[in-house]
Amino acid sequence: MSTAIAELEHLLQRELGRVIIGAEQATRALTIALVARGHVLVQGAPGLGKTLLAKSLARVLGGEFKRIQGTADLMPGDIIGVHVYDEAHRAFVFRPGPVFADVVLVDEINRAGPKTQSALLEAMEERQVSAERDVFALPADFMVLATQNPREFEGTYPLPESQLDRFMMRIDIGYPERDAEAQILARYGARFAPAHELPAELAQLDRALLARARAEAEALHVSEALASYVLDLTRASREQARVALGLSTRGALALLRAARIAAAIRGGEFVSPDDVKAVAPWVMAHRLMLAPEAALDGTSDLEVVRSLLEQTPVPR
């Protein structure tokens, strides 16, 4: 029997697949983040469709999409908005910035300075914006999709731990397989339309379906042993010699929620350790601050996550 959450993933896979080829795993991660009301950091080299993926998701959600380009001179007011004097009313009025949208793409977020990056902290955690003495609510399904190229260091500012921890997931997008890239060339190679142009007939998501998917995920059983397994992974990350800063409590919650949704997508009646393992690279890797010696050795955060999964005993 088809469940609402499986129907939701099928819709996203079908519609995003009409635009992006070979992004099935990324689409599953976006499905999990959407159901969990989480934010996503998309990491990869330029030209791999990160922006197109975000715009396509916004179109399918039927919400408003705004794009923010990260630059060194970007200011907090450019993101959240500013108060300006209105001559007609003889008062200051708030002009909202691009953060007031359903899906906000922050392209090359690590090119913005730390002060500007911090403007997103309240929005991502509390889904509101404070400006002067006023507080403005953001849309109910507000989602931040941020991109960064991990191979560029000139003119970039590494995201602080508090910012990284607010991203529920990090999706690493690599170069497509040869067959997938051949399909991309066949589909788009003869077109001279703008690369960012989306098909007008993309189906929109029924918000009632999203609500049912969330209810299904919340109703899924989580055993005490499974919750203990998540805690064991969390504590192991804090005690790992190659890690200077391990998983936070927010990270542990994100891991459990993502595993719960992954179990619902596969049609399970309860969350299993395999569900935790499936989502762990997305949820854990970007939250781990590696020790200096590990960074010098060339150890990656994904390698540390794989090591933690191998070393932590799995409950029966």
Confidence of residue 232 (pLDDT cuts 50, 70, 90): very high
- Average pLDDT over the chain reads 88
Percent over 90 (pLDDT), the chain: 48
Buried b (16+ CB within 10 A) or exposed e, 105-120: bbbbbbbbbeebbebb
Give the E-state strand segments of 58-188 in sequence order: 65-69, 81-86, 91-96, 103-107, 128-131, 134-137, 143-148, 169-173
The answer to whether the 1-194 and 220-316 domains have the same CATH topology is: no
pLDDT at 243 over 50: yes
220-316 CATH choice from 3.30.70.20, 1.10.10.10, 1.10.760.10, 1.10.8.80 = 1.10.8.80
Residue 55 β-bridge partners: none
- The one-letter code for the residue type at 233 is L
What superfamily would CATH give domain 1-194?
P-loop containing nucleotide triphosphate hydrolases (3.40.50.300)
pLDDT at 154 over 60: yes
DSSP 89-120: TTEEEEEE-TTSSSEEEEETGGGS-HHHHGGG
Supply the pLDDT for residue 166.
94
Domain layout of the chain by residue ranges:
1-194, 220-316
Place of tokens 């009301």: 37
pLDDT in tens, 40-78: 999 888 888 888 888 888 888 887 889 999 988 899 889
Q: What is the pTM of this model?
A: 0.90
pLDDT at 1 over 50: no
pLDDT in tens, 266-301: 998 899 999 999 999 999 999 999 888 887 888 889
